[in-house]
Amino acid sequence: MEKFVFLLSLWSAKILSLLIRIFKLGQASNFPGKIALSLQKDFLKHFILKENCKVIVITGTNGKSTTTRFLSNALKTASKKTIFNKSGANLLSGIATLFSTCANVFGTISHEYIILETDEATLPLLTDQIKINFIGITNLFRDQLDRYGELDTTIKLIEKGINKDKDIVLILNADDPRIAYLNSPNKKYFYGLNIIDSHIDSNGSNNKWLADPEEITSCPKCNNILKFEKKFLAHLGNYKCPTCKLARPELDFEITNHKTDEQTLYFDLLTKKIKSGFFTHMIGVFNLYNALCAIACIKTVSPDTTNVHIQRSFQSYSTIFGRGEKITLENKTSWIYLIKNPTGATEVLKTLTGIPNARFMIAINDNFADGRDVSWLWDVRFDILSSHKKEIFVSGKRAYDMALRLKYADISQKQIKINDNLIKSLKDAVKSMNEQETLFILPTYTALLELQKRGIAKSEFLT
């Protein structure tokens, strides 16, 4: 009977996927799985995986999609049969859709590697249904606090997911104290940075309260404030507890130095006392972490994938610049960069303001998927834009909140062009540009979906 319900659910999902694709109805990466799960609650449990199939979950606040893509690309380059879920499809419904599409009509999946970008809160639901072999965690930042409550709640959800199975091997960001010291007896590998750059005291001491947004600064063991020798990005860094002596774990995978030009990131990876060089066409410290997490995962889950495979897969990634997507509007170049939390948005601004002839459009929505609470805008370092001379276009349902944020970042009111209609605002922005300029569009999640629906953004993007 169970088997019958499963097959019925599976076929329904398959037929729905097909119909959605034929009639271009959108929602293809979530809806079929959602229906299957509504027909059978433990739908995912019934798939038959290959005996040596490895299931790898990537979770954390920022960089899940990029890391998932890096990892999948490298495994594919090494000729491993690999599947992964599209970004934005990281809840159970998205994973169920992926499984339904990739399985044969009997529910058998014959791939060797299944890479699942997974929302933090979904992890415990997922480990209930399928056997996971590895979990890679990127970082934890405040993100949609109104959805999950607080970071303390998020880490507990992740722990709950992990602690259902002692055999899951963890690949953890040692530079994020809360992740490095998450509560679990499982086997752990650690990755982290050992580079020179550090942003401690980058702000004058008079304006400490305007510094970059930061998360956890207290010791996971004794709750006293951690002392950072270096901070590479927000609260990610090399730390020690002055009270109980807890320190960043020994690194199994580390980046020892890096160099960046306008479009490329070069770095050296040290593991098992061997140093090797890589480069990728991306910029920003965020992507250094994403590449590192991906390499740590690759080397853990598939030891026979070589550095050559990895480098080749990085190079084939050239169409993706940073976390962005390139589009052309009326012969003018634009890039879309999703923004969704204070740290991510601040890093995007820091990276983009360094680019000559940059122009900006910011679109803020407060739909459920964006987070209802727009107070995070006040934690973003929009003051980075205060020396920007040109108009800044703001749009979305909360365009006026965004405009207000810019005003209080000392951007002149005359420079702020407000239009809550996304498409009109974009048209105005493009019209105002000259040919040498590049427009950077920074939308929240549902504003990006809107651009996608209007055919402006492609169907795939990175988060």
Partner 1 sequence: MQNKKQLTLELAYLYPRLLNIYGDRGNILALRYRCNARGINLNVTTIEIGENIQGDKFDIYFIGGGQDQQQQLVAGDLLQKKSVIISAIDSDAVFLAICGGYQLLGKYYRTKDGNELKGIEAVDIYTLAGEKRMIGNVICKLLDSGERIVGFENHSGKTYFGSGVKPLAKVIQGSGNNGEDGYEGIRHKNVFGTYLHGSLLPKNPYLTDEIILLALERKGLRLPELIIDDAIENIAHKKAEKISY
Q: Of the two residues 283 and 447, which places its CB atom closer to partner 1 in the complex?
A: 447
Report the nearest approach of partner 1 to the CB of residue 243 (Å).
Answer: 12
Q: Of the two residues 106 and 408, which places its CB atom closer to partner 1 in the complex?
A: 408
Q: Phi-psi region for residue 245, left (φ > 0), alpha (ψ -120 to 50) or beta?
A: left
Residue 418 interacting entry, from partner 1, Zn ion, none, C-beta within 5 to 8 Å by type: partner 1
Q: What is the binding site for partner 1 (CB under 8 A)?
A: 142, 145-146, 149-152, 206-210, 213-214, 216-218, 223-225, 366, 372-379, 398, 400-401, 403-405, 407-409, 413, 416, 418
Q: Of the two residues 266 and 400, which places its CB atom closer to partner 1 in the complex?
A: 400
Q: Of the two residues 40 and 343, which places its CB atom closer to partner 1 in the complex?
A: 343
Asked if 170 and 189 count as a contact pair (C-beta separation under 8 A), the reply is yes
Residue 221 interacting entry, from Zn ion, partner 1, none, C-beta within 5 to 8 Å by type: Zn ion
Q: Of the two residues 169 and 226, which places its CB atom closer to Zn ion in the complex?
A: 226
Q: What is the binding site for Zn ion (CB under 5 A)?
A: 219, 221-222, 241, 243-244, 246
Dihedral over alpha carbons 179, 182, 184, 186 (to 10 degrees): 20
Residue 401 interacting entry, from Zn ion, partner 1, none, C-beta within 5 to 8 Å by type: partner 1
Residue 246 interacting entry, from partner 1, Zn ion, none, C-beta within 5 to 8 Å by type: Zn ion
Report the nearest approach of Zn ion to the CB of residue 455 (Å).
Answer: 53
Picking from 299, 316, 138, 305, the residue whose alpha carbon sits closest to that of residue 233 is 138
C-alpha distances in Å from residue 435, one per residue of 330, 333, 357, 358, 431? 10, 8, 10, 11, 10
Asked if 302 and 77 count as a contact pair (C-beta separation under 8 A), the reply is no
Residue 270 interacting entry, from partner 1, Zn ion, none, C-beta within 5 to 8 Å by type: none
Q: DSSP per residue over 51-105, as a string?
A: TT-EEEEEESSSSHHHHHHHHHHHHHHTT--EEEPPTT--SHHHHHHHHHHHS-T
Q: Of the two residues 29 and 343, which places its CB atom closer to partner 1 in the complex?
A: 343
Report the nearest approach of partner 1 to the CB of residue 379 (Å).
Answer: 5
Report the nearest approach of Zn ion to the CB of residue 182 (Å).
Answer: 15
Residue with tokens 């300029």: 437
Residue 432, classed as helix, strand or coil, is coil
Picking from 135, 151, 67, 57, the residue whose alpha carbon sits closest to that of residue 343 is 151
Report the nearest approach of Zn ion to the CB of residue 246 (Å).
Answer: 5
β-strand pairing of 253-260 with 265-271: antiparallel
Residue 214 interacting entry, from partner 1, Zn ion, none, C-beta within 5 to 8 Å by type: partner 1
Residue 132, classed as helix, strand or coil, is coil
Picking from 134, 136, 131, 113, the residue whose alpha carbon sits closest to that of residue 66 is 136
Residue 167, classed as helix, strand or coil, is coil
Report the nearest approach of partner 1 to the CB of residue 360 (Å).
Answer: 17
Picking from 141, 143, 155, the residue whose alpha carbon sits closest to that of residue 216 is 141
Q: Of the two residues 65 and 139, which places its CB atom closer to partner 1 in the complex?
A: 139
Residue 355 interacting entry, from partner 1, Zn ion, none, C-beta within 5 to 8 Å by type: none
Report the nearest approach of partner 1 to the CB of residue 419 (Å).
Answer: 12
